[in-house]
Amino acid sequence: MAKASFTQSGPVVIAKYEDRTGDLVTREFFTRGSYVYESTGRGERQVCDRLSTRGETLRVSEPLIEIIRSEYRAMRRDEDRRKA
């Protein structure tokens, strides 16, 4: 599994990891109400399962940094299954 780091600065969680091509990805997540959002270059969007844009919308049920770590691991497992 590629190296990843997760840091929290106030209400924002920053995830840094390498994508499948080896490029560094930096993503910023925050909550509004009971939902998880991501800041993007064009605004913001709700985040779904496995940190994707489709699926079940993530709801805040534990500390945000733990949600992002867990969904990152799920995203990587899904990518590994697709490779096999």
**26-82 confidence digits (pLDDT tens):** 999 999 999 999 999 899 999 999 999 999 999 999 999 999 999 999 999 998 898
| 58 and 47 Cβ atoms separated by less than 8 Å | yes
Token pair for 5: 């780091």
CA dihedral 25→23→48→43, nearest 10 degrees, is 50
Q: What is the pTM of this model?
A: 0.92
Provide the token pair at 49.
């399962």
Residue 6: half-sphere exposure toward Cβ, Cα within 13 Å = 14
pLDDT recorded at residue 43:
95
Task: DSSP letter for 50, please.
Answer: G
Q: What is the pLDDT of residue 83?
A: 83
Amino acid at the residue 77: R
* 10 pLDDT more than 90: yes
